[in-house]
Amino acid sequence: MADLINPVYLHKKTLEQARTLFLNNTPNSIQLHQFLTQNCYHELIKKISRLAWKQKSIPDLYQYTTTKIPKDIKTILTTRGITTILNTITSRETILQHAELCCFEHYDYTLLNDACTKKQTLFFELELTPTWNLTWGGYTSYVNHGTELVRNNPTPNTLTIVQQNKDTQHFIKYVNHFAQKNKRVLIRGILTEQ
Amino acid sequence: MYDLINSRYLKQVNALKQQFIQNKPFPYLILKNFLQLDLASKLTTALIQQEFNDKNSDLFQFKQTNELKHNTNPVMRDFYTFFSSPEFIDYLADISDIKLDGTIDMAGFIYQPGDYLLPHDDRLEGRKIAYVLNLSHGFTAKDGGALELFSTTNHHPTLVTKKIPPTYNTLTIFKVTPTSFHQVHEVLSTKSRLSIGGWFHG
């Protein structure tokens, strides 16, 4: 585990502080910066740069590219160590329900829609983006009836967890031409209670 | 009305009716050189003096004025009066073969570099015809800003099949339906796209 996760997050005290922060935020949310060790992070980036991506587009819902998460990367997400960290912070017994490796570049986005989940859900985003500027769009916005509650600005090697209640939805802001060839790459998904 | 708009559009009602209903991917019309030039110029000058507010969501990013119905600028007010007049509304109802009730929405819009409006169908209770009067100069394809109309499959937009660049003094109207998916392409250059837009209700 010390090879994968930043050792800071293996300490009980750190996790307890993180749990307090998570519960004190509205909505319940936390960002864990420098989450993976530098070695693990850079290995991940190298692996991902070799993958083939496929466009996913229903224009009134979303447009971005995605690829199947390699088995060894998925294994990282479901290791006991990471599960323990997530369970401690969220005070739940969680299991990975769904994960997607996706890429957002110029013209890409997701939109709010009525089909979005209307129940409490734990969303996570693991940021694999080397560099990002907010003026390019591409950030994740959690909203409640049009009011932004939380904004996740892509920061490399950051794990963001947000508990969405039934009135909250999220979207990824349209990436504009100022981004040029820059891409936001992340693993995002849903945790459910066991 | 006869002093305000290009007279050929008043003489070509039957031809416009045919065009509207036959156009794909859904009924629309593009009316170039729509207003008398002097009015177009005065309207542009009056519009850019208005207060525009930032509008930002998942679906769009642009600047918009308040509803122009109660605007105090005499040029804006007169234009609103003409556009919402029974005479003009009857004319549009005739061309489109759509029953209109006389109420309209009207606001000014500015799309600056990076601004956009993503795909949607405009459907909200009462909206029957959407319109945009473009008042920008010099937009080419590489500047972006085009109104783009989508074909539809299984209730979702698929491909852009019609691009309408923002040409000065051009009025575009289209029928609001379950398949009237459209977007405004992001403005890609340093230009700003200025327009008046809204809906006719029925």
Strands A109-110 and B28-31: unpaired
- In a 10 Å sphere around its CB, with 0-12 CB exposed, 13-18 middle and 19+ buried, how is residue A127 labelled? buried
Render pLDDT for B123-146 as a digit per residue (tens, 0 to 9). 998 999 999 999 999 999 999 999
What percent of chain A has a predicted confidence (pLDDT) above 90?
76
pLDDT interval class at A19 (50, 70, 90): very high
What per-residue confidence (pLDDT) applies to A76? 84
What per-residue confidence (pLDDT) applies to A115? 67
Establish if A114 touches chain B: CB-CB under 8 angstroms.
Answer: no
Establish if B143 touches chain A: CB-CB under 8 angstroms.
Answer: no
Residue B152 CA to residue A27 CA, distance in Å, equals 37
pLDDT interval class at A24 (50, 70, 90): very high
B192: pLDDT strictly greater than 70? yes
Task: Compute CA distances B109 → A54, B48, B115, B194, whole Å.
Answer: 35, 10, 11, 6
Contacts B113 to A, Cβ<8 Å: 177
Higher pLDDT, A133 or A193: A133
pTM of this structure? 0.96
pLDDT interval class at A116 (50, 70, 90): low
Angle at A37 between CA A31 and CA A38, to 5 degrees: 110
What per-residue confidence (pLDDT) applies to A113? 84
From the list A59, A143, A177, the residue facing B114 with the nearest CB is A177
What per-residue confidence (pLDDT) applies to A114? 73
CB contact under 8 A, B58 and A112: yes
Establish if B22 touches chain A: CB-CB under 8 angstroms.
Answer: no
pLDDT interval class at A167 (50, 70, 90): confident
Establish if B42 touches chain A: CB-CB under 8 angstroms.
Answer: no
Contacts A144 to B, Cβ<8 Å: none
Establish if B124 touches chain A: CB-CB under 8 angstroms.
Answer: no
Look at residues B86, B190, B191 and name the one whose alpha carbon lies nearest to residue B135: B191
- In this structure, what token pair is assigned to residue B121? 């169908």
B189 near B144, Cβ under 8 Å?
Answer: yes
CB contact under 8 A, A176 and B114: yes
Residue A145 CA to residue B28 CA, distance in Å, equals 33
Does the complex come out with an ipTM higher than 0.90? yes
Alpha helix positions (H), chain B: 8-11, 13-22, 37-48, 74-83, 86-96
Render pLDDT for B54-104 as a digit per residue (tens, 0 to 9). 999 999 999 999 999 999 999 999 999 999 999 999 999 999 999 999 999
Mean of the pLDDT values across residues A92-113? 94
CB contact under 8 A, B157 and A173: no
Task: Compute CA distances B197 → B40, B44, B49, B65, B180, whole Å.
Answer: 14, 13, 17, 11, 16
What per-residue confidence (pLDDT) applies to B167? 98
A158: pLDDT strictly greater than 80? yes
What per-residue confidence (pLDDT) applies to B83? 97
A1: pLDDT strictly greater than 80? no
Mean of the pLDDT values across residues A20-38? 95
Task: Catalogue the long-range contacts made by A69-77 (C-beta closer than 8 Å, 24 or more residues apart).
Answer: A69/A99, A69/A100, A69/A101, A69/A187, A72/A47, A73/A44, A73/A47, A73/A48, A73/A101, A73/A187, A74/A99, A76/A4, A76/A40, A76/A44, A77/A126, A77/A187, A77/A189
What per-residue confidence (pLDDT) applies to A2? 63
- In this structure, what token pair is assigned to residue A57? 């587009």
A190: pLDDT strictly greater than 70? yes
Establish if B186 touches chain A: CB-CB under 8 angstroms.
Answer: yes
